[in-house]
Amino acid sequence: MFRHLKTKSPSYGHLRLLVQALTFAAVLSTAPHAAAARMLRLVALGDSLTAGYGLPTGKAFPNRLEAALRAKGWDVKVINAGVSGDTAADALARYDWSVPQDADALIVELGGNDMLRGMKPEATKTTLAAILDKARAAHLPVLLAGMRAAPNLGSEYAGEFFAIYPALAKSYSASLYPFFLDGVAGDSKLDQPDGLHPNAQGVEIIVQKILPSVETLLKQAK
């Protein structure tokens, strides 16, 4: 009795439309994941504290920060744009070739050598502002790492110098990490013999302390 019943098969045109719809839906569902999977390029622009002065190969701050970020699931390349001895003005002078155009975010760790040379805090502030202007023009989210003055420079100088960083962060809507050497400065177990630069163990502590701020920065990356 069933031999006279006929089922209506979908036409070729209907099948083609169905395939196209499913393909389009798949593209929409995977596009955000594809964008998130792109490797981010984070530049650390700084002085010897970034460059890794006195440290074994692979133990500098950018290397260890990259390892820590990757361990937390970030697909990121941290570019070491640190030069030992650089003042803020030196870093500004080389900014255009130190920070590639395809960078996604920027850490600025500068001012320590300005302080050690007794430069006027206002001059350092002006130069750091020029660096932040360049980052703003490139639409780069910035994490500004602060520095403190040595005690022998006096409380007045120390206050003026330390105030540079929160003031700039506020003016430029940049993220602020108040003191790059937090938890390390002044600890002989974590410093190299010069008392200025962290040893490998000190770098690990710096990385762990700054890591949440860097993750927040990367979430702002384009």
| Tokens (6 digits) for 191 | 């410093």
Among the listed residues 48, 86, 98, 114, the single catalytic one is: 48
Q: Is 188 labeled as catalytic in the residue annotation?
A: no
How many whole angstroms from its chain centre is CA 193? 28
Q: Is 4 labeled as catalytic in the residue annotation?
A: no
Q: Tell me the one-letter amino acid at 214.
A: V
Among the listed residues 98, 175, 191, 197, the single catalytic one is: 197
Q: Is 173 labeled as catalytic in the residue annotation?
A: no
Residue tagged 């155009």 (tokens): 101
Q: Residue 59 in contact with residue 192, Cβ under 8 Å? A: no
Q: Residue 82 in contact with residue 47, Cβ under 8 Å? A: yes
How many whole angstroms from its chain centre is CA 205? 17
How many whole angstroms from its chain centre is CA 199? 21
Q: Residue 199 in contact with residue 123, Cβ under 8 Å? A: no
| Tokens (6 digits) for 57 | 């190969």
Among the listed residues 11, 102, 155, 194, the single catalytic one is: 194
Catalytic residues: 48, 194, 197
